[in-house]
Structure 1
Amino acid sequence: MFWMALCGLIFASFMAIVRLLSHQMHPVQVSFLRYSLGLAFMVPLILRMRAQDFRAANLPLHAMRGIGHGVGVMLWFYAMSRIPIAEVSAIGFTAPVFATLGAALLLGEKIRLRRILAIVMGLFGAFVVIRPGFAVVDPGAIAMLITAPLFGFSDVFAKMLMRKESGPAVVGFLSLFVTLVTLGPAIYVWQTPTLEQWGLACLIAFLANLGHLSMMHAFKIAEMSAVQPVKFLQLLWAALIGFMVFGELPSVWTWVGSAIIVLSAYYIARREAAARRGL
């Protein structure tokens, strides 16, 4: 639980720096720098890959996942430059909802009525946050609504790949393909970063990798169903950092919608854990 709480704090801090840097340069360029520099940080992990990892690699599926994830990353960075951090976090937590739907469609997993209701509830929570028809919907919120299913289906593809490939291979190929996907758009909007901006970009890449390592360590030493609820502390961290750094005060609708999304994702996580135990 400690490692998962730390993961949430790291990711919330990462989001704050992304928001700061996205105000200084195009979000697409920031997304490219995050993954290209992150790929450099992952060189020791990539060097640990064996020859059989490359022979067993399902490159078409890796490419499909990388393209979808790369588009999602660019939309996510765009959303970070437009809407409050807490709102990005709230809508982003609908990704497990879409992952559950994707698992049913692509992996043949059974999806029962209770899970369908949880999916509907999670989507309803996202609409409570953005309130279409009752408030002006920011393009950033629309970008996040597109991002969430892309990230959800990316997780499903990862699960498919992990059946025959190693963890380092799945992570390494994702970083490589996302870097390639974001390269062209980044060149189109490129502006030479200052020394300070290079420093912030390196910090973003470092924190992103550190957050993933903390999350993987939490999953390694404890059951996912035990630590999953702690992950939702990221909403609190995001709201606090957004308020302290940018003066963003989440609306009551953000909190209400967040609560609905969290309950939905938590219920799905619990049902997945129960299904694995045969309950």
Structure 2
Amino acid sequence: MSAPDQSQPGRAALWMIGSIVSFSAMAVAGRELSTDLDTFELMTYRSLIGVVIVAGVALATGRAGQIATDRFGRHLIRNIAHFTGQNLWFYAISMIPLAQVFALEFTSPLWVILLAPIFLDERLSLRKLAVVAVGFSGILLVAQPGGAPISIGTFAAAGAAMAFAMTGILTKQLTRSASVICILFYLTTMQLVFGLICAGIDGDIAWPSLANLPWIVVVGIGGLTAHFCITTALTLAPATIVMPIDFARLPVIAIVGMMLYAEPISLAVLIGAVLIFGANYVNIQHETRPRAPRPGAP
């Protein structure tokens, strides 16, 4: 596990690209499943696949001993936050355009950067604030506030963003003492329990059809690989560097929405994407450039 003075933002950025691909695939699968399964059922099946994969990897690689119980409470709080955010996210995907969901979700890195100095003891510089401001202006261009009536899906996406921000902060705290396999084990097992309780509270859990099974596999594997990539990235660089990279998901999902669901891409989306990419490029370039030795340093 990388120490703070061994930050590797370049490698962290590569891991975040993996999370972007995974989240985009999961969004498409979630949209396809929304007509047959509610969000609690979807989360149950997703978590079940995750439990099987994580447990299998832990046993096959001899890392089952890394699953410790000393921070059980912190894992519980993290996964309640994530379960809440993920259910709101899946619900929003079924209600409003994919690009709008992702745009609203991307207020999450803004909250992470602002809260990281309080919870993670990370330095908040004017440059990081400027990067967030530029990135957020791009998000506003893409979301085009006022361009469409605000719906319950809009509020769901905004609520998901706040829950994901807390998830990111708690994940960074856990990476200081817990392994990736430990974090993923608690993620999948706890959320399987949460899903079973919420989906079964009415005594009726829908079984997926054969046609839906491939999409459920995509959701299960995509969710797991996305969190593996993010958790690994957070071990390589500070949260204030890792989370803003996620902005790149927005133009990607806008293109996906246009190709699969005929959701239009406007000039504002393109301009917003340029601002988002530009902000992240400046941030990564600054963090990866060689540091000049301090005067008097050996």
TM-score by length of 1: 0.79
Instruction: Judge conservation of contact 1:225–1:269 (CA < 8 Å) in 2.
Output: no
1:20 aligned to 2:35?
no
Deviation at 1:270, TM superposition (A): 5.2
Identify if the C-alpha distance between structure 1 residues 272 and 186 changes in structure 2 by more than 3 Å, giving closer, same or farther. farther
- Specify the alignment match of 2:98 in structure 1: 85
Deviation digits for residues 112-132 of structure 1, max 9, x if unmatched? 233234334444444443344
Instruction: Judge conservation of contact 2:112–2:240 (CA < 8 Å) in 1.
Output: no
Deviation digits for residues 211-269 of structure 1, max 9, x if unmatched? 555677889999x9999998665444423332222122233334444444444455555
1:68 aligned to 2:81?
yes
- Specify the alignment match of 1:168 in structure 2: 181
- Specify the alignment match of 1:244 in structure 2: 259
- Specify the alignment match of 2:50 in structure 1: 38
Instruction: Judge conservation of contact 1:65–1:154 (CA < 8 Å) in 2.
Output: yes
- Specify the alignment match of 1:185 in structure 2: 198
Identify if the C-alpha distance between structure 1 residues 49 and 167 changes in structure 2 by more than 3 Å, giving closer, same or farther. same
One-letter identity of the residue aligned with 2:34:
S
Deviation digits for residues 164-198 of structure 1, max 9, x if unmatched? 22121112112222222333222247323222223
Supply the distance in 2 between the matched residues of 1:275 and 1:160 (Cα, whole angstroms).
Answer: 27
> Structure 1 or 2: larger helix share?
1
Supply the distance in 1 between the matched residues of 2:73 and 2:85 (Cα, whole angstroms).
Answer: 18
Supply the distance in 2 between the matched residues of 1:250 and 1:175 (Cα, whole angstroms).
Answer: 35
One-letter identity of the residue aligned with 1:248:
E
**Which runs of 5 or more residues in structure 2 are unaligned?**
1-12
Which secondary structure state, in structure 1, belongs to the residue aligned with residue 213 of structure 2?
helix
Percent of aligned pairs with the same residue? 26
What's the RMSD between the two structures over aligned residues? 3.9
- Specify the alignment match of 1:8 in structure 2: 20
TM-score by length of 2: 0.75
Count, aligned residues? 278
The aligned runs of 1:1-279 (5 Å cut-off) are: 8-47=20-59, 48-51=62-65, 53-55=67-69, 57-187=70-200, 188=202, 190-211=205-226, 234-269=249-284
Supply the distance in 2 between the matched residues of 1:95 and 1:134 (Cα, whole angstroms).
Answer: 22
**Which runs of 5 or more residues in structure 1 are unaligned?**
none
Identify if the C-alpha distance between structure 1 residues 6 and 160 changes in structure 2 by more than 3 Å, giving closer, same or farther. closer
Supply the distance in 2 between the matched residues of 1:35 and 1:170 (Cα, whole angstroms).
Answer: 14
